[in-house]
Amino acid sequence: MLSLVEASGEIARDLGVKLHVVGGAVRDLLLGRPTLDLDLVVEGNAVEVVRRLAAGLDARLVVHSRFGTAKLYSEGWVLDVVTARREEYPRPGALPVVQPGNLTDDLFRRDFTINALAFKVEPGPLGELVDPHGGLKDLEARLIRVLHPGSFVDDATRILRAVRYEQRLEFCLEERTAELMRRDVAMLDTISADRLRRELELILREPYPEKVLWRLEDVGALSRLLTWGLDEGLEARFGLARQVGPSPTLYLCLLAYLQEPTWLERFIARLRFPAKTAQAMRDTLEVKKKLPLLARAERTSGIYRLLGGHSPTAILANALVGGSSQVQEKLRLYLDKLRYVKVSLKGSDLMEMGLAPGPRLGGLLDRLLAAKLDGEAPTRDDEAGLVREWLAELETS
Ligand code: ATP
């Protein structure tokens, strides 16, 4: 990381532009926490700095010329370089109007004092702290503080961000910031579904998302995101997810687990989830409804028939928290094995054996899969034998 910063500094010197490390990396370095994302601000052409830097590196370059930003992705790190800018919010919740600016402007547009710190790179001395808003003092006092009283009105996603940092870093909301948050909580309604959903996803990528959710409920913000309240079993469910490797979608399924479909549909509509994620949440409730039938399913093909086509994440959510241990085993069997089982014969093979294309052929392939799942046709020859048998039966009936 340091060598990247130094190399960027040399390029900035050649180009005669000022360059600083800003944001999360400065905060985390001062806190002694690991950081893999580096944000740089250039007072001048950021894209040119990154292009030159990328020339000597094995990294993927993504340029947004219109915004004067560029990103470099490599294994284990991401470098985000922006042109210093000034932002003005035309109305609450709208995206800001952006103009070129200097470092002071760029730090003033940030969310909290602890994120409005910078390290000098060019001109040096390398690593000297720039702290116009008292961020270091707040880091030491472990406080989340907005830069001005209109901050949450400008951009209410900061309410969600404040609570996320508070819980992750085990900080407190500074008193006035907490007051402003309670005052402005309704401003979350000015935020687009896409931005709200992105913030929720960031919350679900935290080590303990339930802590953030509970705290949001505490400050009165959760009801702007979720269409229901949290339940006491949430910690236990999320804890089980962590044992298998969580993902935002798995957490969403576990969040939805106890809900009525109507509330879930309102949540899906409010945050405009992509089809796949929405389906995973719906399937969680569908699979849960089928658990009593699953308990009674004796044949492997019966398990497959009940679960086939449902989102694997929804099935995993149920395997973690639903039903008896026997039912959970069946869910696991489906996830680990059954969903991958395929018949060896294809439609074209069946046509060669004399079947016309159509629903009957589809029906036979399904029947063949069921036989294979139940261990009645382990090899391709066995499959062909069964099909011949069934065809003979069909002819005589
Ligand atoms: P994380 O550790 O969560 O990645 P980060 O501080 O790097 O933390 P990012 O979301 O990557 O967070 O944002 C980078 C920087 O951009 C932040 O440190 C903050 O200064 C600024 N920022 C991000 N979102 C906002 C916002 N909604 N309003 C103001 N500043 C923001």
* Mean per-residue pLDDT, 195-224: 96
Q: Give yes or no: residues 85 and 131 share one domain.
A: yes
Mean predicted lDDT score pLDDT of the chain = 93
Residue in 22, 39, 177 to alter for ligand 1 test, most ligand atoms within 8 A of Cβ: 39
Q: Give yes or no: residues 255 and 322 share one domain.
A: yes
SS (H, E, C) 332-345: HHHHHCHHHCCCCC
Choosing from 140, 161, 192, the residue where a domain stops is 140
Query: Which residues touch 204 (CB under 8 Å, ≥6 apart)?
Result: 246, 248, 251, 252
Q: Give yes or no: residues 326 and 364 share one domain.
A: no
> What CATH number does the domain containing 130 carry?
3.30.460.10
**Looking at the predicted structure, is the pLDDT value of residue 323 above 80?**
no
Contact by Cβ (8 Å): 74, 50? no
> What CATH number does the domain containing 205 carry?
1.10.110.30
The CB density around residue 322, as the number of other CB atoms within 10 Å, is 18
Question: What would the pLDDT profile of 126-178 be if each residue is shown by its tens digit?
Answer: 999 999 999 999 999 999 999 999 999 999 999 999 999 999 999 999 999 99
- Based on its alpha-carbon atoms, the radius of gyration of the chain, rounded to whole angstroms, reads 28
Q: Give yes or no: residues 135 and 147 share one domain.
A: no
Ligand 1 mean position to 112 CA, how many Å? 9
**Looking at the predicted structure, is the pLDDT value of residue 91 above 90?**
no
Ligand 1 mean position to 201 CA, how many Å? 14
Q: Which of 219, 72, 201 is nearest to 144 (CA)?
A: 219
What is d(CA 119, CA 321) in angstroms, rounded to the nearest whole number?
47
Q: Give yes or no: residues 53 and 104 share one domain.
A: yes
Q: Which domain holds residue 59?
A: 1-140
Q: Give yes or no: residues 75 and 62 share one domain.
A: yes
Question: What would the pLDDT profile of 348-374 be if each residue is shown by its tens digit?
Answer: 888 888 888 888 888 889 999 999 999
Q: Give yes or no: residues 253 and 335 share one domain.
A: yes
Per-residue model confidence (pLDDT) at position 290: 95
SS (H, E, C) 124-171: CCCCCEECCCCHHHHHHHCEECECCCCHHHHCCHHHHHHHHHHHHHCC
Q: Give yes or no: residues 44 and 146 share one domain.
A: no
Q: Judge if the beta carbon of residue 154 lies within 6 A of ligand 1.
A: no
Q: Give yes or no: residues 97 and 150 share one domain.
A: no
Question: What would the pLDDT profile of 331-354 be if each residue is shown by its tens digit?
Answer: 999 999 999 999 998 888 888 888
The CB density around residue 295, as the number of other CB atoms within 10 Å, is 12
Q: Whose CA is nearest to atom 27 of ligand 1?
A: 158
What is d(CA 254, CA 247) in angstroms, rounded to the nearest whole number?
11
Q: Whose CA is nearest to atom 5 of ligand 1?
A: 24
Going 77 to 38 to 2 to 205, the CA torsion angle's sign is: negative
Ligand 1 mean position to 241 CA, how many Å? 27
Residue in 21, 36, 88, 111 to alter for ligand 1 test, most ligand atoms within 8 A of Cβ: 111
What is d(CA 67, CA 140) in angstroms, rounded to the nearest whole number?
34
Q: Judge if the beta carbon of residue 135 lies within 6 A of ligand 1.
A: no
Q: Give yes or no: residues 163 and 182 share one domain.
A: yes
Alpha carbon 253 to chain centroid, angstroms = 13
Q: Judge if the beta carbon of residue 115 lies within 6 A of ligand 1.
A: yes
Confidence of residue 315 (pLDDT cuts 50, 70, 90): very high
Per-residue model confidence (pLDDT) at position 304: 96
Choosing from 223, 240, 258, the residue where a domain stops is 223
Choosing from 95, 123, 140, the residue where a domain stops is 140
Give DSSP secondary structure letters for 87-118. EE-SSTTSPPEEEE--HHHHHHTSSBGGGS-E
Q: Give yes or no: residues 209 and 237 share one domain.
A: no
* Mean per-residue pLDDT, 229-244: 94
In the chain, the number of structural domains is 4
Kindly state the helix (H) or strand (E) to which residue 327 belongs, with its residue range: helix 325-336
Per-residue model confidence (pLDDT) at position 162: 98
Q: Would you state the structure tokens that stand for residue 107, as one six-digit string?
A: 């730090």
Ligand 1 mean position to 128 CA, how many Å? 21
Q: Would you state the structure tokens that stand for residue 24, as one six-digit string?
A: 């999360």
What is d(CA 367, CA 161) in angstroms, rounded to the nearest whole number?
52
Q: Judge if the beta carbon of residue 24 lies within 6 A of ligand 1.
A: yes
What is d(CA 346, CA 336) in angstroms, rounded to the nearest whole number?
23
Q: Give yes or no: residues 366 and 309 share one domain.
A: no
The CB density around residue 251, as the number of other CB atoms within 10 Å, is 26
Ligand 1 mean position to 37 CA, how many Å? 11
* Mean per-residue pLDDT, 191-210: 96
